[in-house]
Amino acid sequence: MNKAQLVEAIADKMGGRQQAADAVDAVLDAIVRAVVGGDRVSVTGFGSFEKVDRPARYARNPQTGERVRVKKTSVPRFRAGQGFKDLVSGSKKLPKNDIAVKKAPKGSLSGPPATIAKAVGKKAAAKKTTAAAKKTAAKKTTTARKTTAKKTAPAKKTTAAAKKTTATKTTAKKTAAKKAPAKKATAKKAPAKKSAARKTTAKKTTARAGK
């Protein structure tokens, strides 16, 4: 039975061929996505689908007999439930007008083997640890950038203030230099007064001599 035949087989129960096709596609898609994500899909009495990791190993090429190294890989695996096994083996009769598989005996499909459960738990823990480490690193980087920006801003302000102070001092020096020649000119004019005084003294002395 292929997919088209499976759709035809359940079309009457689903209310039409299109509804049956959509139902089959939805179920298969959900199973595939869950298994690829590392989850185990268990259908009571029917079986379970799961992802199994195979380590790297050596195998034989069936055509040449040559030894070939096979890389590490992951494969899907289906394990039939006890109810399914019992119906196939004939230990239980297949019901005619009822659902073939309803419930599985106690103990069947209780969960994945201990080895697989541990492996899945380790992978999940590793993913969580990696995600937490990335978040912590991102937070530290952001904090460092903000701190650097805060430290750089006062430095820029200090530099600007220093530049303004230097410019003010330079302007003051230039102004003082311009005013300095005026003082010198005033100083040079002072001897002229002395000459006038000398002339006045000479005139007084001449006047006295005439008397």
**Could you tell me the residue ranges of all domains in the chain?**
3-109
Chain centroid to Cα 203, Å, comes to 105
**Which pLDDT does position 183 carry in this prediction?**
45
**Which pLDDT does position 103 carry in this prediction?**
57
Of the candidates 62, 44, 157, the residue with the CA atom closest to the CA atom of residue 110: 44
Chain centroid to Cα 47, Å, comes to 39
**Which pLDDT does position 125 carry in this prediction?**
60
Helices vs strands, H then E, count in the chain: 4, 5
Task: Break the chain down into helix, strand, coil percent, rounded to 5.
Answer: 65, 15, 20
**Which pLDDT does position 116 carry in this prediction?**
47
**Which pLDDT does position 11 carry in this prediction?**
93
**Which pLDDT does position 129 carry in this prediction?**
62
Q: How far is CA 47 from CA 30, 67, 72, 104, 130, in A?
A: 15, 35, 26, 9, 33
Do residues 81 and 101 make contact, with C-beta atoms less than 8 angstroms apart?
A: yes
Q: How far is CA 99 from CA 44, 93, 94, 96, in A?
A: 13, 12, 9, 8
Render each residue's pLDDT in the chain as its tens digit; 211 residues: 999 999 999 999 899 999 999 999 999 999 999 999 999 999 988 999 999 999 999 999 999 999 999 999 999 999 999 999 999 999 888 888 778 877 545 554 444 444 444 555 555 565 566 666 666 666 666 666 765 555 544 445 545 555 666 666 656 566 555 554 444 434 444 444 555 546 555 566 555 655 4
**Residue spans of alpha helices (H) in 51-113:** 82-89
In this structure, which topology does domain 3-109 adopt according to CATH? HU Protein; Chain A (4.10.520)
pTM confidence score:
0.45
The residue type found at 162 is: A
In this structure, the number of other CB atoms found within 10 A of the CB of residue 112 comes to 17
Alpha carbon distance 41, 31 (integer Å): 7
Q: Please name the helix (run of DSSP H) or strand (run of DSSP E) that holds residue 104, with its range, or none.
A: none
**Which pLDDT does position 122 carry in this prediction?**
57
Alpha carbon distance 100, 89 (integer Å): 14
**Which pLDDT does position 74 carry in this prediction?**
95
Of the candidates 30, 71, 32, 31, the residue with the CA atom closest to the CA atom of residue 53: 71
